[in-house]
Copies of this chain bind each other. A is one copy, B any other.
Amino acid sequence: MNFDVLVLGSGAATPTYNRHCSAQLLSLCGSQVLVDCGEGTQNQIRKYHKKIQSIRTIFISHLHGDHFFGLPGLLSTMHLCGRTEPLTVYAPKGAKAVIDLLFEVSGTEVRYELVINEIDVDDVTTIHCDKHFSVKAFPLNHSITTFGFLFEENNILLNLRPHARSQYNMTNDDCIRVKQGEDLTLDDGSVIPNSKLTLPPRLPRRYAYCCDTAYDESLIPIVEGVDMLCMESTFDNSLSSLAEERCHCTALQAATIAAKARVRRLVLTHFSARYTDIAPLLAEAQTMFADTCCATDGAVFQLVNQQAMPE
């Protein structure tokens, strides 16, 4: 099952000719998840030929307009296009009052079940868990209440030991149950314990999204070892004072977090509109962390499976 991140918007604060405001569409083992929803996100979803109605869950990091002002239009379009499937939105406190007021003044009554869960956590906390994935939220260091998100896939099947299937003449159903952790009962009533049939599963893929935030080393243990870390890098390091003043990161600071947290891969995003060329930000980050790349609108980043290391 795929674990992909489609960048819908990689710009900061205001849209530019080639960068929309923050939004990412995650394909999480069969589920479509939206992370942040800057103005124009619904247009971007269409531009990249994705289906608005397939989104089941939305996570909003904070209520600055460039991460949030596309949400009312998206919810409205879902309604106008006849949605009946429920939708869950996780967002900081205040989001529900905004959506309620906008629906009130526009005379909108959505026909689908819209659940807005306002996030209120002080530390790393699981806020969502379903059969496909779980999500932890954690506070970021920004000018208003802001959360980072850690997405992790769930229910990864065990691997069958070589020859187990043929040795015990297992059916397809047997295989599925055993991969899910059950023991195997043979026709003669004897029981083969699961540990004799299986090897450890591959590692669950994990994706961390930290946008917007100042440089803050308290992030390091939270995102340690993730398959991919997406960090904001609004500025280059020559503007580190401005970054500090505005509670943003520089490319070098993002790469420092990535290096110290020993993540597999770093994606920079949320570039200030002042940069028409972000190559210097990439180069700056790569001096600290080689496996860095820059988000562009429309880019897809795939998280590949990793087998657990033998103990």
Q: Which residues of A contact B (CB under 8 A)?
A: 13-17, 20-21, 39-40, 42-43, 46-47, 63-66, 68-70, 72-73, 76-77, 80-81, 94-95, 97-98, 101-102, 104-108, 143-144
A98 touches B94 (CB 8 A): no
CA distance A144 to B14 in the complex (A): 31
Query: Which residues of B sit under 8 angstroms from A76, Cβ to Cβ?
Result: 14, 65-66, 69
Q: Are A39 and B73 in contact (CB under 8 A)?
A: yes
**Judging by beta carbons under 8 Å apart, are A39 and B70 in contact?**
yes
The 5 closest A-B pairs by CB, nearest first: A94-B105, A39-B73, A107-B144, A65-B76, A14-B77
Closest chain B residue to A105, Cβ basis: B94
Residue of B nearest to A71 (CB): B69
Candidates B94, B102, B104; contact of A65 at CB < 8 Å: B102
Number of identical protomers: 2
Tell which of B66, B106, B144 touches A144, judged by Cβ atoms closer than 8 Å.
Answer: B106
Instruction: Give the residue name and chain of the B residue nearest to A70 (CB).
Output: B39
> Cα distance A73–B65 when bound, in Å?
6
Q: How distant is A267 from chain B, measured CB to nearest CB, in Å?
A: 23
CA distance A105 to B13 in the complex (A): 16
Q: Are B98 and A68 in contact (CB under 8 A)?
A: no
A64: B residues at CB distance < 8 A: 106-107
Q: Are A15 and B42 in contact (CB under 8 A)?
A: yes
Q: How far is the CB of A71 from chain B (nearest CB, A)?
A: 9
The answer on a CB contact under 8 Å between B73 and A69 is yes
Chain B contacts for A104, CB-based, 8 A: 94
A sample of 12 more A-B contacts (CB under 8 A), given A14-B80, A39-B43, A95-B105, is: A14-B42, A15-B46, A21-B73, A40-B40, A65-B73, A65-B76, A65-B106, A97-B101, A97-B105, A98-B101, A98-B105, A101-B101
CA distance A20 to B47 in the complex (A): 12
Residues of chain B contacted by A81 (CB below 8 angstroms): 14
Q: Which residue of B lies closest to A46 (CB)?
A: B17
